[in-house]
A and B are shown apart, each in its own frame.
Chain A
Amino acid sequence: MNQIARNQPDLSIDPSLARRILTGFIKSELNRMGFSKAVIGLSGGLDSAVSCFLAAEALGAENVLAVRMPYKTSSQDSLDHAQLVIDQLGVQSLTIPISGMADALIEQFPDMNSMRKGNIMARTRMIVLYDQSATFQGLVIGTSNKTEILLGYSTIYGDSACAINPIGDLYKTQIRQLAKALLVPIAIQEKAPSADLWAGQTDEGELGFTYAEVDRLLYLLVDERYSAEDCVEAGFPRQFVDQVLEKIRRSQFKRVMPPIAKVSNRTVGYDFLYLRDWGT
């Protein structure tokens, strides 16, 4: 029997081990690609704060450029919280409002819904970050966590775009533990996660469940390979389990490179296999 005990799963981590591995990863992978500097979009939320703390520790604060990119509807809290990170770490920083860029497109479609607007904002920020990457000579550090990667709660080629991602194998619950150990400002640790695309938006409100709940379920399904039935038997509502599995399945396209139609003997993506670290 695949009995899941009541207290399972335990998503606790040793934050100092995670910190050592992730800072080593940032330093090694940037250096192997010929870089020593990093660019990070700082939203004022927990994930980008943690990425920024790790990058500053790995590379030195002077080698990290934190970019704040407010849209006109972004909350003042977001800007202020991002500034707390910048001040605490002493990283370099820029504030580049995106309203002009984003609205140039948005205003052409008066009936545009908030999902389209949100995607445009996310992709506009990607353009700004990659432009800063070129001038600062630093690589863009990812800020997506394992929960949102698995659920597909991101904009493809938007907030998911990056050169390397140090935190993408940690669930939100685990990012919180790491944030505490890194001494991320308390205001950021304690606030509700939000994409901040409109006033009052929260991730958990939009998703319909809490990170604490979904992280336990994802851990059982993905990391521990329990079946949906096992999770239902362990007390997760059937509808919740099905909803999460469907989100994972439907967002697979966000986690892979676009497939190339194979016609030759050797095709990129299928049988042309090299790591990025090839030759380094």
Chain B
Amino acid sequence: MKITLAISQINTRLGDPQVNLEKHLEYIKKARNSGADLIQFPELSLTGYVLQDLVPGVAMRPNASDPIFKHLLNASQEIDIVAGFVDEDQRSRFYISSAYLSRGEVVHVHHKVYLPTYGLFDEGRFFAWGDSIRAFPTRFGRVGMLICEDFWHASPPYLLWLDGADLLLFSSASPGRGLTTSPQLASARWVEHINQAYASLFTTFVSHVNRVGFEDGLHFWGGSTVFDPDGVLLAQAAYEEETLLLAELDLGQIHRTRARLPLLRDERTVLVSRELNRIAGKEE
């Protein structure tokens, strides 16, 4: 089975979901016209990133009665959509979130688990931590979603792999930092390395969409990537530029790679679980 993945590497308007929705619908239409099966948007693509005190005002609930989501759900009749937003739960806790929409339904919502609150980041001040990491079924097989800092930690991609995800969809609003003699920023190089490493270690597809543009002095570098189960770079978007990147994923590559390299087959899940329990102090 081959699927066409569209990576929507966009800039956003800070704190204006309506304007951002219009851009989403425009990119969804372009992707659909290009024959894409799935379109992926960056972290907080409907709201912008450094929200601070704007958080409560831009929070939404991902269902058909929400004025933003009703349009996205409608658009998802023809193409699967991953969009970034602020989820407000029933008890008014706010989460950095990604929703997977397909055929008019919300298939899965991931709440960002790791909120960077150090250096230039202050997410823990404004958002609640997510509390689960789950793969979920789609019409392309099991998929896992993570948001930025989630995949700076090794365990969330590992858990999704064990939970059956053969397509990892990562999204970021990653501010560039680390100017050296390299033609890439240090942060960009780091993110590309780990994405390639996850694809190689887990013999799985890893797609990463990063946003572009500026918010005050912060610069989002783009450079979205798609790696195949051999760790081969299938496609990469330009740095800094708004673009719609298309990548064809031959899902048969999972079969071929794992026939050669049965890392998943040989993974000692029960051993890992036993040792984790021991390390966490639950067992001797």
* A interface residues (Cβ-Cβ under 8 A, vs B): 10, 12-14, 16-18, 20-21, 24-25, 28-29, 32, 169, 174, 271-280
Establish whether residues A275 and B16, one from each chain, have CB atoms under 8 Å apart when the complex forms: no
A275-B50, A278-B54, A280-B13 known; A13 and B180 CB under 8 Å? yes
Within 8 A of A (CB), among B163-185: 176, 179-185
Contact of B54 among A10, A21, A25, A274 (CB under 8 A): A274
Contact of B184 among A17, A25, A169, A274 (CB under 8 A): A17
A174 partner residues in chain B, CB cutoff 8 A: 179
Tell me, in angstroms, the Cα distance from A255 to B93 when the chains sit together: 35
Establish whether residues A13 and B215, one from each chain, have CB atoms under 8 Å apart when the complex forms: no
Tell me, in angstroms, the Cα distance from A13 to B186 when the chains sit together: 12
A24-B219, A29-B214, A273-B53 known; A279 and B179 CB under 8 Å? no
Tell me, in angstroms, the Cα distance from A25 to B212 when the chains sit together: 11
The dominant DSSP class at the A interface is loop
B230 in the interface (beta carbon within 8 A): no
B88 in the interface (beta carbon within 8 A): no
A24 partner residues in chain B, CB cutoff 8 A: 214, 219, 240
Contact of A17 among B13, B50, B54, B179 (CB under 8 A): B179
Closest 4 CB pairs of A and B: A273-B52, A28-B214, A12-B181, A273-B53
A25-B214, A25-B217 known; A20 and B53 CB under 8 Å? no
Establish whether residues B181 and A14, one from each chain, have CB atoms under 8 Å apart when the complex forms: yes
B180 partner residues in chain A, CB cutoff 8 A: 10, 12-14
A29 partner residues in chain B, CB cutoff 8 A: 214, 216
- Given contact pairs A25-B219, A278-B14, enumerate 11 new A-B contacts (beta carbons under 8 Å): A13-B179, A13-B181, A14-B181, A21-B179, A25-B217, A32-B214, A174-B179, A272-B53, A274-B53, A279-B13, A280-B13
B15 in the interface (beta carbon within 8 A): yes
Establish whether residues B176 and A21, one from each chain, have CB atoms under 8 Å apart when the complex forms: yes
Closest beta carbon of chain B to A172's beta carbon, Å: 15
Establish whether residues A28 and B52, one from each chain, have CB atoms under 8 Å apart when the complex forms: no
Tell me, in angstroms, the Cα distance from A279 to B17 when the chains sit together: 10
B213 in the interface (beta carbon within 8 A): yes
A277 partner residues in chain B, CB cutoff 8 A: 14, 50, 214-216
A20 partner residues in chain B, CB cutoff 8 A: 239-240
Measured CB to CB, the nearest residue on chain A to B50 is: A275
Establish whether residues A275 and B14, one from each chain, have CB atoms under 8 Å apart when the complex forms: yes
A274-B53, A278-B14, A279-B15 known; A17 and B213 CB under 8 Å? no
Contact of A16 among B14, B16, B183 (CB under 8 A): B183
Closest beta carbon of chain B to A131's beta carbon, Å: 26
Tell me, in angstroms, the Cα distance from A17 to B14 when the chains sit together: 25
Interface string of B206-228 (1 = CB under 8 A from A): 00000001111101000000000
* B interface residues (Cβ-Cβ under 8 A, vs A): 13-16, 50, 52-54, 176, 179-185, 213-217, 219, 239-240
A25 partner residues in chain B, CB cutoff 8 A: 214, 217, 219
- Ordered by A's residue number, 7 sampled pairs between the chains whose C-beta atoms are within 8 Å are A14-B183, A17-B184, A18-B179, A24-B240, A29-B214, A274-B52, A275-B52
Tell me, in angstroms, the Cα distance from A274 to B48 when the chains sit together: 12
A280 partner residues in chain B, CB cutoff 8 A: 13-14
Tell me, in angstroms, the Cα distance from A278 to B48 when the chains sit together: 10
Tell me, in angstroms, the Cα distance from A225 to B248 when the chains sit together: 44
Tell me, in angstroms, the Cα distance from A25 to B221 when the chains sit together: 12
A17-B184, A280-B14 known; A275 and B216 CB under 8 Å? yes
Tell me, in angstroms, the Cα distance from A273 to B52 when the chains sit together: 6
Closest beta carbon of chain B to A185's beta carbon, Å: 24
Contact of B182 among A14, A169, A274 (CB under 8 A): A14
Establish whether residues A279 and B240, one from each chain, have CB atoms under 8 Å apart when the complex forms: no
B54 partner residues in chain A, CB cutoff 8 A: 274, 278
Closest beta carbon of chain B to A160's beta carbon, Å: 15
